[in-house]
Amino acid sequence: MGEYLLPPLTTLTHQILHAYEGVEDSRRGYRFDRVYVATERRSAEIHAAMFRGGGWLYRVIPEGPLEADPDSVDPTLSQACPRARVVEVLPLHPADVVRILESMQNGGMT
């Protein structure tokens, strides 16, 4: 807690979601100089579950201007900012990861 989520351009990481999905190119409008944050816990859980080994949920305070995620069907569901300060870290339970991924494979999002 108190640390920052920083964009891939700053951290030089290759561990971004589209890489885990096996996609070579970044999605339309993706910005490597932004951190993407979900506005609803359910959406954050789905994205965290898609990372290898599950992932973690971070409650954050976005810093800098918020921008709509151009790849999101609902512009209020995902937003981008220059960085975000972590105020709470929550592990995603392995059973929840399995449930989420199975639901997605079956066409659901619950």
Q: Which of 4, 98, 86 is nearest to 50 (CA)?
A: 98
Q: Which CA distances in Å does 26 have to 32, 59, 92?
A: 9, 25, 25
pLDDT class for 1, splitting at 50, 70, 90? confident
Say if residues 23 and 71 touch (Cβ distance below 8 Å): no
Q: What is the pLDDT of residues 2-20, one digit of tens each?
A: 999 999 889 987 666 554 4
Q: What is the pLDDT of residues 54-110, one digit of tens each?
A: 778 999 999 999 998 877 778 778 899 999 999 999 988 888 888 888 888 887 654
Q: What is the pLDDT of residues 16-34, one digit of tens each?
A: 655 445 554 556 677 889 9
